[in-house]
Structure 1
C-alpha cells in the first residue's frame, strides 16, 4: 500500500551566475509534475507576455489587498512595481501532492519560510566554487554588458552572505554533480513523515492487522 503525500515548496536561491536557473530548468525537465510558481505583478504586460503564464497581472489595489489578507507568500517593490507570489495556487498544489518551484532571492525566501506554508518549505542555496569563476560565468554567457556584470558582482556578496538561512547549500563546481545532489535532496524530502499525511492511518491499519493475527 502507498500513502499520498503533500507537495513541497522548493526554493532555489543564488547570486546571479551560480547556476540556479540552469538547475531549475533541469529540474522541470526531470520531473514534469513540478510546477513553477507564477508571480503576480502590478506592471503592465510586455509584448508577448500572457496573463497566468508569464505573470498574473493585477492592479496595485488588488495586490495590496492580497498582501493585507496574507495571500502573498512573498512580495517586493521593484522599480515602482509590486511583485509577489500568490499563496492560493501554491496551497492547492501542495495539498494535491504537487511540488512548486520558486526562483527567488534571499529576501523572498525568508518571507516564504515565515509564511503559513513554512512546514512544506525546502530551501536550497547555490554557491559558486569561487568569485573568479562567478565572474567568468557572467562574462562568458554573453547576456549582460560590462556595467551590468559589475553591478551583479557587487550584489553577489550580499546574496552569498545569507547562505546560512537555507536548509541545504550546494557548491556548484560541477553542474552534473550538483544536479544529482539536488535530485537526491528532493527525493529524500518527499519522504519526510510530515509530507505523508496518510501514514498515520496506514500504521493504524497495520496495528489492526497485527492485533487480528494475535486473536
Structure 2
C-alpha cells in the first residue's frame, strides 16, 4: 500500500508539471509563493504562445509563427503551425526520379479499341433521321454507307444515303465477297461494303452501321464485340403513320412492311440496347445513342490489353 501511494503521488506530481509546462508563463500560474514581478507581466505580453510537443501531438496547439520570405516569423495571435518549405514541382520531379527512376510521359492506359456500332430497327422508326443527326453531332465516328439495288427516293443523295447500284453489279459484289453482309429486303438487295469497315477500323476509328434487323444479326455473328442498338417508335400506329407519309409503297408493300415490323419488334431482346425515337424525340434519341457509345468506349475490356500467359 505504501508503494502504491508513492506511485500515485509521483503521477500526480508529473501531471502538475505537464500542466505547468503546457500553460503560458504568467502571473496566474506562477509557482506558489513566488512574487509577480514587472518582468513577468512584460514577458506575458510579448511571449508567443507555444504548447509543448505532448500537446502538439494532439493537434491542440497554436504556435504564433508564420513562414515569411526570410524564414519563420512570429505572428502573434496566429492559429496555424509554421509551414514547411515546399520545393518547386520541377525539383520534386527530379527528386522522385532519383528515388524511383525516370518518369515517362506515355499514356497510363492504351487508347480504347475502335468499336462497331450497329443501329437497327423496323421500317418507319426513323433510322435514317437518327443516323443523320448523329452524324452531325459526332464527327469522330465513321458512318458506313450501305449499298442497295432499290431505286433512289426523293431527297436521297448518292454516296451519302446509299450507294445505288443495279442488281447485276450488286450480285457481282456478292460473288467477289466484297460485302460484309447482304440480304434481300422487300425485293431489293442491301449490303455493307467490307472495305469501308476494314479501313476505318485499321485507322482506329469507330464505325457506325445502319442496317435492318436481319443484317444486324448477321454482323453480330461475324463481330461479337459489336454494339447493337434497337431503335423503336412509341407505338405501331405511329410507325404506320410514318410509313404511309412516305408515299413510296402501294398498299400491298405497306402491309408487308407493317407485318415485318411486328416480327422485328419481337427480336428487340436480342440487342444490347433499346432507344425510342418517338414523335418529337429525335434530339433525345440521338443523345442517348451518343451516351451509349461513350459508355461502351469506357468499358474496361476495351481499354485494357488482353493478358498474356
Displacement of 1:136 in angstroms is 2.5
Given that 1:4 and 1:97 are in contact with CA atoms closer than 8 Å, whether structure 2 keeps it comes out as no
The aligned counterpart of 2:111 is: 4
Given that 1:105 and 1:159 are in contact with CA atoms closer than 8 Å, whether structure 2 keeps it comes out as no
Once residues 194 and 289 of structure 2 are traced to their aligned partners in structure 1, the CA distance between those partners, rounded to angstroms, is 25
Displacement of 1:171 in angstroms is 2.5
Higher relative contact order (CA 8 A, sep 6+): 1
TM score, norm. by length of structure 1: 0.72
Q: CA distance change for structure 1 residues 188 and 51 in 2, over 3 Å: closer, same or farther?
A: closer
The aligned counterpart of 1:211 is: none
- Is 1:118 the counterpart of 2:206? The answer is no
Given that 1:10 and 1:122 are in contact with CA atoms closer than 8 Å, whether structure 2 keeps it comes out as yes
TM score, norm. by length of structure 2: 0.53
Match of 1:64 among 175, 182, 206: 175
Once residues 162 and 214 of structure 2 are traced to their aligned partners in structure 1, the CA distance between those partners, rounded to angstroms, is 21
The aligned counterpart of 1:104 is: 211
Q: What is the CA deviation profile of residues 47-92 of structure 1, one whole-angstrom value per residue up to 9, with x for unaligned ones?
A: x9868994386463453231xxxx6321224577754223333123
Given that 1:6 and 1:96 are in contact with CA atoms closer than 8 Å, whether structure 2 keeps it comes out as no
Q: CA distance change for structure 1 residues 51 and 104 in 2, over 3 Å: closer, same or farther?
A: closer
Q: CA distance change for structure 1 residues 105 and 54 in 2, over 3 Å: closer, same or farther?
A: closer
The aligned counterpart of 1:162 is: 267
The aligned counterpart of 2:197 is: 90
Once residues 146 and 63 of structure 1 are traced to their aligned partners in structure 2, the CA distance between those partners, rounded to angstroms, is 29
Once residues 30 and 52 of structure 1 are traced to their aligned partners in structure 2, the CA distance between those partners, rounded to angstroms, is 16
Mark the structure with the bigger radius of gyration. Answer: 2
Given that 1:11 and 1:103 are in contact with CA atoms closer than 8 Å, whether structure 2 keeps it comes out as yes
- Calculate the aligned-residue CA RMSD, in Å: 3.3
Displacement of 1:157 in angstroms is 0.4
Aligned residue pair count: 191
Given that 2:233 and 2:276 are in contact with CA atoms closer than 8 Å, whether structure 1 keeps it comes out as yes
Instruction: Map 1:3-152 onto structure 2 (within 5 A).
Output: 3-40=110-147, 54-55=162-163, 58=169, 60-66=171-177, 72-77=179-184, 82-115=189-222, 117-119=223-225, 121-139=226-244, 141-145=245-249, 147=251, 148-152=253-257
Once residues 44 and 125 of structure 1 are traced to their aligned partners in structure 2, the CA distance between those partners, rounded to angstroms, is 23
Q: CA distance change for structure 1 residues 131 and 118 in 2, over 3 Å: closer, same or farther?
A: same
Displacement of 1:105 in angstroms is 1.2
Displacement of 1:167 in angstroms is 0.5
Once residues 21 and 51 of structure 1 are traced to their aligned partners in structure 2, the CA distance between those partners, rounded to angstroms, is 14
Given that 1:128 and 1:171 are in contact with CA atoms closer than 8 Å, whether structure 2 keeps it comes out as yes
Task: Give the SS at the match of 2:217.
Answer: helix
Once residues 54 and 104 of structure 1 are traced to their aligned partners in structure 2, the CA distance between those partners, rounded to angstroms, is 11
Instruction: Structure 2: give runs of 5+ residues left out of the alignment.
Output: 1-106
Displacement of 1:131 in angstroms is 1.1
